[in-house]
Amino acid sequence: MNSPTEEPTWLRRALIAFAFIHVALMIILPFASVIAQACSEGFATFTRTFSSRDTIHAIKLTLLIALIAVPINTLFGIAIAWGFTHVKIPGKRVLLALLDLPFSISPVVVGFLFILLLGKHGLFGGWLEARGIKIIFAFPGLLIVTLFVTMPYVAKELIPLMDGRGREEEEAARLLGAGWWRIFWRITFPEIKWGLLYGIILCTARSMGEFGAVAVVSGNIRGRTNTLPLHVEALFQDGDLPAASAAASVLAILGIVSLVARTITDIKAKAKSKN
């Protein structure tokens, strides 16, 4: 006999089966297909793809952008989250909505915004050109749009964790004469470390995987301004599907790493909140 708040067994089974089929068909199958394509000609595809100079350059460029963008947005993310949760000012809802903007603007529009700002005919275009500084269709442009699209990750992870937690301990530490850094390091940091780590991982994954925004400001010069996601498209346009899939499967690892990291940080965070 079913309890009154449960569905009959046949319906439960059907719904569970539906969930499995849906996820298998819509998510697992595309993922498996790209891996299969990359492996369709055996290991040779990987050797061929990853020994090409353009691919190596694309990987280096992608890593370099992440190496600069992630620390910058981590530091600013901590500052924004700390300020947001510790300063009393009106209009905080607007600020919070502002942090959602980079997630909701089309990546192509993001790229275009910076062409209007820093491109040849942009607001600062003349000023930059007179000084021989090239931003759009060059490395700085790629970096700036990446900063834009990855800006909120760390801050958004930290704000709910910093909000209202450990405030008495902070107050006590301050009365005992602890400076800001000591309060942060000894009291706040242990509370937020798993959230911070997860935010950093999301930020890294997005900065390496961003496509639309960098596509607009890159100019797609192979071996110069092609990041790894852009290189995937270039190989695809060449009609070299196995090579494009091989390059894509390296990026796919990023996705998997961030999923596993999410699961681990979730478990750690839950264990912490139980204590």
Partner 1 sequence: MKPARLTTHGILFGIGMTYVALLILLPIAVLAIRTAQLAPTDIWQILTASDTLAAFKVSFGQAFLASIFNTVTGVPVAYVLARYRFPGRKFLELWIDLPFALPTAVAGIAICGLYSESGWLGSLLAPLGIKIAYTTKGIFVALVFVGLPFVIRTVQPIVENLDLAEEEAAACLGASRFYTFRRVILPALMPAIVTGFSMAFARGLGEYGSVIFIAGNIPGESEILPLRIVHALESYDYATATILATTMLTISFAILIAINLLQRKHALKH
DSSP designation for 200? H
Candidate list 56, 160, 167, 263; residue touching partner 1; CB under 8 A: 263
Q: Are 43 and 123 in contact (CB under 8 A)?
A: no
3-class DSSP assignment, residue 26: helix
Candidate list 212, 222, 224, 240; residue touching partner 1; CB under 8 A: 212
Place of tokens 């020994």: 51
Say whether residue 90 binds partner 1 (CB under 8 A).
Answer: no
CA 66 to CA 147: how far, in whole Å? 9
Place of tokens 């499967």: 249
CA 188 to CA 83: how far, in whole Å? 13
CB of 62 to partner 1, least distance (A): 10
Say whether residue 271 binds partner 1 (CB under 8 A).
Answer: no
Say whether residue 215 binds partner 1 (CB under 8 A).
Answer: yes
Looking at residues 103 to 142 of the shown chain, list those that interact with partner 1 (rule: CB under 8 A): 104-109, 112-117, 121-123
Say whether residue 218 binds partner 1 (CB under 8 A).
Answer: no
Say whether residue 233 binds partner 1 (CB under 8 A).
Answer: yes
**Cα angle value 109/143/262 (rounded, 5°):** 85
Say whether residue 12 binds partner 1 (CB under 8 A).
Answer: yes
CB of 160 to partner 1, least distance (A): 13
Other C-beta atoms closer than 10 Å to the C-beta of 41 total: 13
DSSP per position, 69-88: HHHHHHHHHHHHHHHHHH--
- Stretch near partner 1 under the rule CB under 8 A, chosen from 125-133, 158-166, 188-196, 245-253: 245-253
Over the window 21 to 60, marking each residue x when it contacts partner 1 by CB under 8 A and - when it does not, the resulting string is -xx--xxxxxx-xx--x-----------------------
Question: Kind and range of the H or E element at 30?
Answer: helix 29-38
Candidate list 46, 137, 148, 198; residue touching partner 1; CB under 8 A: 148
Looking at residues 171 to 190 of the shown chain, list those that interact with partner 1 (rule: CB under 8 A): 174, 180
